[in-house]
Amino acid sequence: MVGFLLGSILSGAALSVYGFKAHDFKTCSQSGFCRRGRALAKRATEASGPWVSPYSLDPETLSFSPSKSSLTARIRSSLYPDIHFELQVHILENGVARVRMDEINGLRKRYDEAASWALISEPILRKSRLEWVEFRKKISGIKAIYDDVELQISYNPFKVTLLRKGRQEVVLNGRGLLHMEHFRTKAEPEPVNETENTSTEGEGQTVLDEKPVKPSAWFEGEDEDGYWEETFLSWTDSKPKGDKPHASLFSYGVSYRIIYRPGVPVS
């Protein structure tokens, strides 16, 4: 029966391919958040010095549930010190580590209801008590060991590593490309000041003020590419509170890596 159903689905997919119109779907070059994600990866690759993630975990904010199966902590970004994020880590009964991160006290809240329709039921937290211990290697952090799993959370730069039987399986932010864009208001463009200078030969010269330096340009780039408005075909998408995607880098084992923004792999 399974083979029959699978064959039927594939047959239907083969027949419907004739109705596919490629121009009705955005490519990465036509999507602002995808372009920004790939540009970020390129800047990291081409950086002349060490590339270090701007995100760090504040160990003073660590909080645990009574069974220690859940923890929360504040994540800070050196790009925007006044913007705060919260990390949630839940260890489930089946051994899976569920990691969540979101902006807190921002201009608005992101959509956060996917689990209500994507999951049959809320995942069950691990009931047996966990113990978290601090480690101090090259980077300080905290870790939990349960069954054959070791979950490590590094403070600065922020990184999450899951090992099974001593072998690294999944790493979040291993290359420092995690980026959660916060809600923001669009700054009004500053007026361009022009001053008139006179040369020794009496010829007037107009000097324009230099463009202000953007401190986060090393990570985010100079331009706000697609932040506030995007146009595709005949549709215009206005974003008065800015764009809000996040980029996450997961490394799997030792050979496979992917940078992911919701819906679009960017590297």
d(CA 267, CA 265): 6
Report whether pLDDT(182) > 90: no
The whole-number pLDDT of residue 61 equals: 96
The whole-number pLDDT of residue 122 equals: 84
Min mean pLDDT across 27-31, 143-147, 244-248, 262-266 is at 262-266
Burial 119-155 (b: 16+ CB within 10 A, else e): eeeeeeebeeebeeeeeeeeeebbbbebeebbbbbbb
Report whether pLDDT(144) > 70: yes
The whole-number pLDDT of residue 33 equals: 78
The token pair at 52 is 């270090």
Mean pLDDT, residues 263-267 taken together: 42
3-state secondary structure (DSSP) of residue 5: helix
The token pair at 260 is 């992911």
Q: What is the largest CA-CA distance in the chain?
A: 91
pLDDT digits (tens, 9 = 90+) for 215-237: 888 888 887 766 666 776 676 66
Report whether pLDDT(62) > 80: yes
The whole-number pLDDT of residue 107 equals: 74
The whole-number pLDDT of residue 8 equals: 44
Residue 263 one-letter amino acid: G
Please check whether residue 53 is in contact with residue 158, taking contact to mean a CB–CB distance below 8 angstroms: yes
Mean pLDDT, residues 23-31 taken together: 76
The whole-number pLDDT of residue 262 equals: 46
The token pair at 133 is 């211990």
d(CA 202, CA 20): 66
Check: pTM over 0.95? Answer yes or no: no
Between 129 and 89, where is the model more confident?
89
Contacts of 76 (CB under 8 A, 6+ apart): 55, 56, 57, 58, 84, 85
Mean pLDDT, residues 106-116 taken together: 78
∠ Cα 107 64 54 (to 5°): 50
Report whether pLDDT(76) > 90: yes
